[in-house]
Amino acid sequence: MQALDRQTSAELEKLSGIVKRVTFHSAETGYTVLKVNSFQRPHEETAVIVHQSKVFAGATVDFYGEWTTHPSYGLQFKASRVIERKPATANAIGNQKVHELTPFFRRIAFKKERIAAITATARKLAVIVWNLVIKAEPYKKSEIKETSEKSRRAGLRQVEKRLRALQLSQGELEKIFSRAAIIAN
């Protein structure tokens, strides 16, 4: 591995993409297995092996290394050098639990795919910045909240519709919602 670390980036193959998830990580050794959506093959998940502790889901990263074939897991990219691209703003929004644009991102990702959600969120951010800078309009946070509230109401209507379709008795509904109340607390 020492000889591989001394190689320059020009001698190594490059794989660029978005880290979809961290499949395995050892805190002691830093050995990490990642699933990456590469820009070269966006509809495929590529396994990337790296010895690094600071790689997280949602990061846009350039990996430098070589392709290997594992007897059990198949084709993998073994990275000896990792460079995180900055900023990964639109992609990072999808990984955050509390952000004003997270519901928008997740809605697009659910309907289409993550790459489309990243593009749509990046465009939405660009429009917000453009309105702030060029038009000198204040940021309209309330519009995003209204959209989130609309989505919430639509979700509630879907739940009500599904409950009616199940034709549950009053006792069964109370039992379900009492369990849900216990779980929520």
Same domain for 172 and 135: yes
Domain-embedded: residue 21: yes
Domain contains 100 = yes
pLDDT of residue 3 exceeding 50: no
pLDDT tens for each residue of 117-172: 888 888 888 888 888 778 777 776 666 666 677 778 888 899 888 888 888 888 88
* Least confident span in 31-35, 37-41, 154-158: 37-41
Question: Do 78 and 104 fall within a single domain?
Answer: no
Domain edge (last residue) among 48, 68, 84: 84
| DSSP-derived secondary structure letter, 11 | T
pTM over 0.75: no
Which of 26, 60, 84 is where one domain is finished?
84
pLDDT band per the 50, 70, 90 thresholds, residue 2: very low
* Sequential DSSP letters for 46-79: EEEEEE-S---TT-EEEEEEEEEEETTTEEEEEE
Residues 40/67, Cβ–Cβ less than 8 Å: no
- Please check whether residue 121 lies inside any domain of the structure: yes
Tens of pLDDT, residues 79-112: 999 888 765 567 777 767 767 788 888 888 888 8
Cis peptide before 138 (omega within 30 of 0): no
